[in-house]
Amino acid sequence: MQQIVQPGMQPVATTFFFYLLSGLTLVSGVLVITRKSPVHSALALIFGLLAQAGLYLMLYAPFVAGVQIILYAGGIMVLFLFVIMLVNLERSQKEEQFNRQWVVGFLAAIALGALFVVVYVKGKKLFPYHIAPPLENNNTQQIGLMLYGQYMFAFEIASLLLLVAIIGAVVMAKKRI
């Protein structure tokens, strides 16, 4: 059996896909916050998350992309949909969708955006264009080594956090314990 050499995956039509995926991400983001029906919002969010997984792939972060799909799209969003189905939302769909302070909120967010713009314009040279991409082939192994080496403690804390979240969710959602 000949050993197969695995060169790093070659990106194809990077520019096109970047604009396509980021466009999808942003459009779905807009849909998330504007749709009346939470299910439509959730659907938009799912598409956004998948597009974002594509962006991660373009950033040579396949493991994060995989985790994004399996955890976010396959796990968290199912949870969301599950709750939406359980909670009868018909009434809330007939009500006013935006709260009274929506102008203020919108302006504040825009101001924050302006701040970002200023920061990016000022600090543009901090972000060089061409960086040698990290070797994609052992990305997963490296992340694994870091998770269980350098970030061991944080990893354990995260598992503890999840445990707390499980207990918290059960306590909150259960009728009678």
Partner 1 sequence: MVDPKTPDPKTAEATKYLSHLELGEPDKTFLDSNELVINMGPQHPATHGVLRVILKLDGEQVLGTECVIGYLHRGVEKIAENRTYTMFNPYVDRMDYVAAVSNGLGYCEAVEKLLNIEAPPRAKYIRVILTELNRLASHQLWLGTHALDIGAMTPLFYTFRDREEILKIFEKYCGARLTTHAFRIGGCQYETYEGFERDVIKFLDFVPPKIDEYEELLTTNRIWLERTKNVGVISRADAIALGVTGPVLRASGVKWDLRKAQPYAAYSDFDFEIPIGTNGDTYDRYTVRMEEMRQSLRIIRQAVEKIPEGPIMAKVPKVIKPPVGEIYHSIEAPKGELGYFIVSDGSTQPYRVRVRPPSFVNLQALDIMVRGALVADVIAVIGTLDIVLGEVDR
Partner 2 sequence: MAPIGTLHYLVVAAALFILGVIGVLTRRNVVIILMSIELILNAVNLNLVAFSRIWGLHGQVFAIFVITDAAAEAAVGLGILIAFFRNKETVNVDEVDLLKW
Partner 3 sequence: MLDYITSYLSSNTTPGQAGNVFWAFVYIMIVFGGVSVAVMAMNWLERKALAHFQIRLGPMRVGPHGLLQPIADAIKLMTKEDIIPSEADKFVFWIAPLIILCASFAVYIVIPFGPTHAITDLNIGILFMLGVSSLSVLGVVMAGWASNSHYPLIGALRSSAQMVSYEVAMGMAVVSAVLMTSLHGLGPYGVSAASSGTGTLSMIGIVQAQQEQHVWFLFKFFPLGFIAFGIFAIAMVAETNRAPFDLPEAESELTAGFHTEYSGLRWSLFMLGEYAAMIAVSSIAVTLWLGGWYRPFPNALAGETWDLVFSLFPGLSFLGLAAIAFVGVRRMPKHPYFWVQTIGLAGFGAVLGLIGLILFAPPVRDRIQDIFWFVAKVAGFMYLYIWYRATFPRYRFDQLMKVGWKVLLPIGIGVLILTAILGVVL
Handedness of CA 81, 87, 93, 96 (dihedral sign): negative
**By C-beta, is 126 or 173 nearer to partner 1?**
173
| Shortest spacing between CB 32 and partner 1, in angstroms | 24
Asked if 129 interacts with partner 2 (CB under 8 A), we say yes
Q: Residues 87, 121, 126, 132: which binds partner 1 (CB under 8 A)?
A: 87
Cβ neighbours, 10 Å, residue 125: 6
- The beta-carbon contacts of 89-95 under 8 Å, at least 24 apart in sequence, are 89/37, 89/38, 93/36, 93/37
Q: Which of 2, 3, 88, 99 binds partner 1 (CB under 8 A)?
A: 88
Q: Pick from partner 2, partner 1, partner 3, none: which does 164 bind, CB < 5 to 8 A by kind?
A: partner 2
How many of the chain's residues bind partner 1 (CB under 8 A)? 4
Can you tell me which of 21, 24, 51, 65 binds partner 3, judged by CB under 8 A? 65
Q: 30-69: buried (b, 16+ CB within 10 Å) or exposed (e) per residue?
A: ebbeebeebeebbbbbbbbbbbbbbbbbbebbbebbeebb
Shortest CB 6 distance to partner 2, Å:
19
- Contact set with partner 1 (CB under 8 A): 86-88, 175
